Amino acid sequence: MACEPNVDYGPILRVVGLKTYFHLRDGTLQAVDDVSFEVGTGKTLCIVGESGSGKSVTALSIMGLIDPPGRIEAGGIYHHGEDLLELQEDELEGRIRGNRIGMIFQDPMSSLNPSFTIGDQVAEGLVLHRGLTRNQARQETVDVLRLVGIPDAEARYDLYPHQFSGGMRQRAMIAAAIICEPDLLIADEPTTALDVTIQAQILRLLAELKDKLNSSLLMITHDLGVVASMADDVLVMNAGKIVESGTVEQMFDSPSHPYTQGLLNCVIDAETQRDGSFEVIPGVPLVPINPGRGCRFKDRCTRRFARCNREEPVLLPIERGHYAACHLCDSAT
């Protein structure tokens, strides 16, 4: 059974040693390799990384939505102390997904069923988890649509997804994710597909809802601007591994891993970069199929030395709550 929320201020979600591998013809893709982190109650954790770094697979692993050829090889995912990996599929469906943990997807254009009305889909959670009929769920659904800032919610309940703009669809997706008042919201790049102006609105909405529902937020993004405005804690991933983790202040004030530093340098500043001098991290991200020995960032790292080829760095504390997996940081201590 789940513990009473908010009695202890321990983490709402604790992921320990998660390994999610995809067994492909070319070899085993170590999409998520030995990843551990916590999402504190009422906190926002941002997972940052490039495409293919394992951010989304981490989120899908938490939801138990890894399909073959993917497999969770090892680890534990504790939600209120209960290991989700031990649960049967029907328990996950009935009790966890959409009920205790809600998920928001990247592309609001294709993440809604085109054959049913917005209201029908937002109400789905109430139908699935509370056993209400769609008629019974209607008023509550309209209230939630209003809560996520959809004007004229009563009338828009009966519209189809194609009649909504991208921003409105994302609001509808958020409504569907929060309708059962989950204590953990997972948002997988919720603003990537949206206009900049809409992005800010959606981010503010997510922050407001998190407080209103007293829930925690796990946000996956590659946008450091999003991280700066939303996160309490940050996790930087590269090629399936955590390279650095810490509070948002630690990340932005004293980034320790060359990859984190590189990412921060890549942020485009409208003021200073009008001359077109963009910083880049050279090379392409390593695809962790049979990654071999040594650091997974070594081929792109400008500060590589002999030890990086031999030995894979482990996460070591730099200061309280701030960890990095880099030999440079190791020799510094």
- Structure token digits, residue 29: 């893709």
Compute the least distance from the CB of residue 122 to other proteins, in Å.
Answer: 10
Cβ–Cβ under 8 Å, residues 14 and 43: no
Q: Which of 4, 25, 88, 114 binds other proteins (CB under 8 A)?
A: 114
Cβ–Cβ under 8 Å, residues 243 and 37: no
The amino acid sitting at 236 is V
When asked if residue 24 is in the footprint of other proteins (CB under 8 A), the reply is no
Q: Which stretch binds other proteins (CB under 8 A): 80-88, 155-163, 195-203, 300-308?
A: 155-163
- Structure token digits, residue 127: 């139908």
What does the alpha-carbon distance between residue 274 and residue 272 come to, in Å, rounded to a whole number?
6
What does the alpha-carbon distance between residue 104 and residue 169 come to, in Å, rounded to a whole number?
11
* Number of chain positions touching other proteins (CB under 8 A): 33
Please give the DSSP secondary-structure letter assigned to residue 267: -
When asked if residue 128 is in the footprint of other proteins (CB under 8 A), the reply is yes
Compute the least distance from the CB of residue 119 to other proteins, in Å.
Answer: 14
When asked if residue 260 is in the footprint of other proteins (CB under 8 A), the reply is no
When asked if residue 223 is in the footprint of other proteins (CB under 8 A), the reply is no
CB nearer other proteins, residue 3 or residue 109: 109
Handedness of CA 171, 172, 174, 175 (dihedral sign): positive
Phi and psi torsions of 80, nearest 5°: 50, 35
What does the alpha-carbon distance between residue 48 and residue 226 come to, in Å, rounded to a whole number?
10
CB nearer other proteins, residue 221 or residue 250: 221
CB nearer other proteins, residue 107 or residue 181: 107
CB nearer other proteins, residue 3 or residue 65: 65
Q: Give the interface with other proteins as residue ranges (CB under 8 A).
A: 63, 65, 90, 92-94, 96-99, 102-103, 105-107, 110-116, 124-125, 128-129, 160-163, 173, 176-177
